[in-house]
Each structure stands twice: as C-alpha cells, then as structure tokens.
C-alpha cells in the first residue's frame, strides 16, 4: 500500500535551516507529482509547494518568498523540503502528499495520500 | 488567488445529515476536493473533483457543486465522523484550502 513517511522535524532557532525528507513506498514514485503542506498548531492546512515527476516543474506558495526549496530523488523514492531563514511562524507539522493522478503531465491538485507529518518547532 | 470560506463549525445529531459548505468567488469553474482530519491524524481525501469518492470512503459521504458554492454532505452521521473538514481547489496557479469546519456530533 502507499506509504509516505516524513522525517527531519526538530527544534531549530530562528534564522536556522532544516531539511525535511519524505520516504515513499508502495507506488512508482517517479510517476507522481508530490506536494508539501503544513499545519500550524491549532490552525488549518497551508499548501507550500509541488514538484513534478522530475525536477522540471515546481511551484511555490507566494507566502514562502523563496525561503523554501522542494526537490526529489527518484532513485531513492524520496521527496525533500529545504527550509532556510526559518521564522517562529514556520512552526508547524509538515506533511508530504501524493497527487492522485499517475503519469500525467500537469499537476492534478488532488492530494490522495498523506504522510503522518513531522513537527518543526522554530524557537529561541 | 481564491479565498475559500467555510463555517467554523457544524453540529448534527447522530443519524442525521450534515452539510458543510465551501464558498469562493469564481470557483464555479474549478473542481473542489474535500479532506477529513480526525484529531491527531493526517488528513484523508473523502471527495475529489466535486463529486467523486475514493475507494474505501463510505457512500454516506457525497459532494456537490453549484455556482460558487460546493457542499460536502454526510448522511446518517456517526460519532466517528466527528472531525475537521477542509475544502481545497487548485486553480489560477495556486492551491488553496478553506479554513476548515469542525463537525460536532451531538
């Protein structure tokens, strides 16, 4: 079955950097668009970025202002999120999610499978 | 980009029907997707492309979309349906989630 397992979340100081990983299994990873979505404590869902089947297609939420970078390693079935210049307001649970549609050229926008999330806490 | 508006909460007695709305300017041309998030868990897709139900989701869950309002309907509500529900669209170069609705089963 489809499994997505995030890791890398931890306590980091403001201004610091962190790299999150999402290990995928149970499906052909390279066939799917992938996204990162976060949820601040007690708040709603916020989509951050998606990446196409290769690194060629990426899109970010305007709010990130270039601080985050999404990437993937299809040989290792792993999705990444590099987060720089972290702020207190970046404190959240970070989820990776798989798009529903296999082998498509364009992002489908349907997040059919989610990982369990990894908690990032930004605090001094 | 779109702004999706959901009621903060909806209350319903067990066995009754719950309706959760999602409104937004100009979403009439976009597909709306719905996610259920139980406390302490990751979101789960319950309706996609306005009306389609993923495998494993009970038939009690249904979706509709008319004009600028989409609706998630849960029939014969059970205590296990108590959760936060989020609508979402992908359009205009943005993925947007609604603010979420807490379904309270009385």
Mean pLDDT (chain A) is 96
Angle made by CA atoms B25, B86, B23, in degrees to the nearest 5: 20
The pLDDT > 70 percentage for chain B reads 100
In B, minimum Cα distance to A44 occurs at B99
CA dist B59 and A50 (Å) reads 30
Tell me the per-residue pLDDT of B3-23, one tens digit each, with 9 for 90 and over: 999 999 999 999 999 999 999
Reading phi first (left if > 0) and then psi (alpha if -120 to 50, else beta), residue B68 is in alpha
Q: pLDDT tens for residues B71-93?
A: 999 999 999 999 999 999 998 88
Beta-strand ranges (E) seen in chain A are 3-7, 11-12, 18-25, 34-39, 45-51, 58-60, 68-73, 78-83, 92-99, 111-114, 118-122
pLDDT in tens, A93-115: 999 999 999 988 888 899 999 99
| Rg, chain B, Cα only | 13
* Mean pLDDT of chain B, nearest integer: 96
DSSP labels, B30-61: S-EEEEEE-TTS--EEEEBTTTB--TTS-TTE
How many Cβ atoms sit within 10 Å of the Cβ of residue B94?
14
Query: Which positions in chain A touch B91 (Cβ < 8 Å)?
Result: 109
What residue in A sits closest to B6 (Cα-Cα)? A44
Q: Is B98 on the interface with A (CB under 8 A)?
A: yes
Chain A residues 66-95 with a CB less than 8 Å from chain B = 95
pLDDT over 90 percentage in chain B: 90
């Amino acid at each position: 079955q489809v499994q997505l397992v995030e890791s890398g979340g931890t306590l980091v100081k403001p201004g610091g950097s962190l790299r999150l990983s999402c290990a995928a299994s149970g499906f052909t990873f390279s066939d799917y668009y992938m996204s990162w979505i976060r949820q601040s404590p007690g708040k709603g869902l916020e989509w951050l970025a998606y990446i196409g089947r290769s690194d060629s297609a990426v899109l970010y939420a305007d709010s990130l202002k270039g601080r985050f970078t999404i990437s993937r390693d299809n040989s290792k079935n792993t999705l990444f999120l590099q987060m720089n210049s972290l702020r207190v307001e970046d404190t959240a649970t970070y989820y990776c999610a798989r798009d529903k549609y296999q082998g498509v050229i364009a992002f489908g926008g349907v997040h059919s499978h989610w990982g369990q999330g990894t908690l990032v806490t930004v605090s001094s | 980009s779109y702004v999706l508006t959901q009621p903060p909460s909806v209350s319903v007695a067990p066995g009754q029907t719950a309706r959760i709305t999602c409104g937004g300017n100009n979403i009439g041309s976009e597909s709306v997707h719905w996610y259920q998030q139980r406390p302490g868990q990751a979101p789960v897709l319950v309706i996609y492309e306005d009306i389609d139900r993923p495998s494993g989701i009970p038939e009690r869950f249904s979706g509709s979309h008319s004009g600028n309002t989409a609706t998630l309907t849960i029939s014969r509500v059970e205590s296990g349906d108590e959760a936060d529900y989020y609508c979402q669209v992908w359009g205009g170069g943005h993925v947007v989630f609604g603010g979420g609705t807490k379904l309270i089963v009385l």
